[in-house]
Amino acid sequence: MKSLLDFNDLSDIEWNHLLSLARQIKQSPADFATLCRGKVMATLFYEPSTRTQFSFQTAMQRLGGTIIGFSDPNSTSVSKGETLIDTTKIVSAYADIIAMRHPVEGAPYAASLFAPIPVINAGDGGHLHPTQTLTDLYTISDLKGTLTGLNIGICGDLKNGRTVHSLLKAFMRFPGNEFYLISHPDLAVPQYVLKLLDRAGVHYRQITSLDECIAKLDVLYMTRVQRERFASLAEYERLAGCYTLDMAKMNVAKKDLAVLHPLPKIDEIAYEVDSDPRALYFTQAKNGMYIRMALIATLLDSYEPSVMPQNEFPDRVCHNPRCITRHETYLPQLIRQGKTAAYCRYCEHETDDKQ
Ligand code: NCD
């Protein structure tokens, strides 16, 4: 298996393997307690996290491995100006696998091109969060017994929420679902994600009211407004608090609705909802540890190194200001031809022929 940067890097066989391994681990964790003995995982977290970082760390420890890493790059040589690639190369000499979270889009992809060990994308800016997607799909599949034929509401900050982009992209592989994308118009799903959904024939409606669809939903995926991705606090405050899931809304929902949330939640779910049996976000967070155990064990067992791809357009550059190539300018541009446009391989933004 290759480094995990995007859920869609996985073949169907690999995804089904991870799902069944996570189920086995959840059922009898003791059987897997020494699987990764002697192995070291580095968690390189350039951006704050509790859940994801702890779940990677406990996942490795529960497999018998050990961990090194940082959660505050200011306490490392990064603060002296060390490049991402140098840090990656050094850590690769010490560890067997890297989990990287970074505020800039495409950073884990860049690291994977230079590391001789597997790199897991633990969230890159507003781009993707594939291990949260593994967690979400595993949880939905366990609760509903299927990943097709569902009415799925996704509510909140659909513009900046990388868990949302990752999940929607992953669902392109599981047809027959109806999506209700519930957000303020200023926080709608980015055009590049909608284009992908259109091309894959995914059915979705963009709406602004949760009341309008809640009674139809099988799954409701709530998300917080991502304060750290706003240019100003005033702009955040204008859009925060748009949606709150409370018992009045839950009372009109299906008896078997599954309410999910990648967490942390702020004020988008009323406290009273936590004790409703349909609130399944804490189960979801626990599942995240089991699926990460399955992922780490599989990558350590069957890793195939990445090969540096060809740049198909030597005369173009990526213009996305949030792309890693704009921050670590020594990185080679890597533009590839997609079905209808050319894309940056790091951040997936479309490029054009303007310089
Ligand atoms: C999410 C993230 O970091 O993108 N959290 C997580 O991984 N558990 C969601 C969020 O921060 O809102």
d(CA 346, CA 325): 8
The total of other beta-carbon atoms located within 10 Å of residue 238's CB is: 14
What average pLDDT does the segment 121-141 reach? 96
In the structure encoding, which two tokens stand for residue 294, read together?
């399955």
**pLDDT category, 354, cuts 50, 70, 90?**
low
What single-letter amino acid sits at 203? H
Share of the chain above pLDDT 70, in %: 99
CA distance 347 to 353: 17
Q: What is the largest CA-CA distance in the chain?
A: 57
Average pLDDT over residues 74-91: 88
Q: What is the CA radius of gyration of the chain?
A: 20
Sign of CA dihedral 349, 161, 9, 94: positive
Q: Report the distance separating Cα 39 and Cα 60, nearest Å.
A: 9
Ligand 1 mean position, distance from CA 50 (Å): 9
Cβ–ligand 1 contact at 123 (below 6 Å)? yes
CA neighbours within 13 Å on the CB side: how many for 335? 18
Segments in 255-322 forming alpha helices (H): 281-301
pLDDT of residue 230: 86
Residue 99 structure tokens: 């989990």
- The ligand 1 atom at the shortest distance from the C-alpha of residue 157 is 12
In percent, the amount of the chain with pLDDT more than 90 equals 86
Nearest CA to 318 among 328, 309, 308?
Answer: 328
Q: Say if ligand 1 is within 6 A of residue 166 CB.
A: no
- Substitution candidate for ligand 1 out of 49, 222, 224, 284 with most atoms within 8 A of CB: 49
Average per-residue pLDDT in the chain? 95
Say if residue 353's pLDDT is above 70. Answer: no
> From the CA of 166, how far away is ligand 1's center (Å)?
12
The reported pLDDT for the residue numbered 314 is 93
What is residue 355's predicted lDDT score, i.e. its pLDDT?
Answer: 46
52 CA distance to ligand 1 middle (Å): 8
Q: Distance between CA 318 and CA 59 in Å, rounded?
A: 36
Confidence at 228, pLDDT banded by 50, 70, 90: confident
Reported as a single tens digit per residue, the pLDDT across 243-256 is 999 999 999 999 99
Give pLDDT tens digits for 288-337: 999 999 999 999 999 999 899 999 999 999 999 999 999 999 999 999 99
39 touches ligand 1 (CB under 6 Å): no
Tell me, what's the pLDDT at 203? 97
pTM above 0.85, yes or no: yes
- Can you tell me which atom of ligand 1 is nearest the CA of 50? 8
Which pLDDT band holds residue 158 (cuts at 50, 70, 90)? very high
What average pLDDT does this structure show over 165-181? 96
Q: Is 54 helix (H, G, I), strand (E, B) or coil?
A: helix
pLDDT of residue 76: 76
Write the DSSP string, 142-164.
HHHS-SSS-EEEEES-TTT-HHH
pLDDT value at 164 more than 90: yes
Asked if residues 296 and 63 have their Cβ atoms less than 8 Å apart, the reply is yes
